[in-house]
Structure 1
Amino acid sequence: MGRKPKSRPSFYKVIFNELTNHLRLPHVFVQKYRENLPKSAKLRISSGETWNVELEDMGDEEFCFTRGWTKFSADIGLKMWEFLVFYFNVGNSTFDVSVYGPSGCERQISTRDKGSDSDEDEVVLLSQDVTSINHNIDPQLVAQEEAHPQFQIYLKPHHRSRLTIHKKFALAAGLASRKSRKAVVLQYPPDQRCWPVLLDHDFPKLPYFRLDMARGWPEFMKKNGLKFMKTYLFEYIPDKNVIEVKLVN
């Protein structure tokens, strides 16, 4: 007999990459509460307004908000680098949603609020901000606070031709400037061969920022056998001036 779930289990997601027409729930959350997850749910914000969304089983312990997610994210003015916390009300198929800006402060939202301007010249997600929320963590989303700058990516087909580097990582590794170098060197075990990859900068104006691994990235993926639907760690090693790429077990 399965254990009784919490009345309001929760999880968080950070919008690191481009907004899409779906949002994946963390694997650990799905593993724990799969039998309680509905096929249709409501997303509810603090004002009491709700949106209907489909919760689709994609296989391999992957569940996503699909139909209805695009309208929800557009109506609340969701932006990159925002931090969402979902509280699942077991029994009534409703997720209460809170949205936090890069500053760490919750913003009040409604269908009339298309997002507010924020001071984002440096987006920082500190480890203490993450651990202060006592919930299951989705490891692909956190730019880790370690001795070396690092971030993780859950590799998907849209990463085939280029890969967007997390802003915090780019800042720590000295890549977040028009004057910074135009290429990086990647290494992948066990051979530790060096792979030069060109960088594609797009810094129109603050707070907007995008830095992609472009030319050379597809070849690196192919030659080293990187697989979609796997999580990889990217760690900048200052002494070697390379970015090591490792498969996360």
Structure 2
Amino acid sequence: MALKPECYKSSKPSFFKVLIGDFSEQLRIPPAFVKNFNGRLLSKCLLRNSTGKVYIVRVEKRGNNGLFFWSGWHDFVKDNSLDIGDFLVFKYDGSSTFKVKIYGRNTCEKDVRLAQEGRRISNSFYEERKTNSKSFGQKATNSNKIISGCSKSGEEFINDNIEEPGMKSICSFKSENSYFIATWTWYSQYYMTIPKFVAIEKDLISKKRAMLLDPTGSPWPVRLDLVADGFLNMTNGWPDFCKGNKIGAGDTFIFEFVTQTVMQVHIFRAGAKKEAQCLGVDKKIECTAIG
């Protein structure tokens, strides 16, 4: 009779989790790992990331479903920009502390300091947005360097502080449709983020698929994955879009909503001459915010 496999015994036992589904509010501790608590009923524990920052997280038993990281877990998810497909290794010190290593979908360990800096800038952006409910065109930066313009229909969107490559040509864009702007960075080879307020405005939270139209009109289906704090990531299909359109570092996009789930993508090439930067955009029209 086959023996039931058990966790490897170590002075510092560990387990791993691949983040799937709705992981932002709670995370289950593997039942086979619980024996490492030596009969102790943990009510809270400490999670330490690679920078040494410590998070206090409550542990709660949920009926027959086992133990879960609960209150405080959401802060860990948010602060470390955890995403679907990330691979986490939890190493237990035998007391109540877990050292957590975080790996991205590219299989490399994440630069947590970079994620936290991006989060700090993103928070500043949304705080700034609250102070001006009618419009905003300030620069907002996360892993995809989202730069968005949004106001009531007909209002002018001008940001004199924009210094991103190709942005002067982008500010000649005009449309009656909603849109958002993003610049391709290293992380963008894996996914592109739809800002939270755009996802809410277009009622995309429950959607699983969308369609991108490149400047030639060719369709590119992409999957939509909901991540922490209500952001949506375009994942499966997005790398194919980038490869098929020869996207490079610094290239900038306008994602224009033709319908709720169909976006016309206007591509602005980094380093190109001003006259040639805009593909699929009328160069004569002035910049207008999304409706």
Give the TM-score normalised by the residue count of structure 1: 0.45
Q: Which has the higher helix share?
A: 2
Larger radius of gyration: 2
Q: Which has the higher strand share?
A: 1
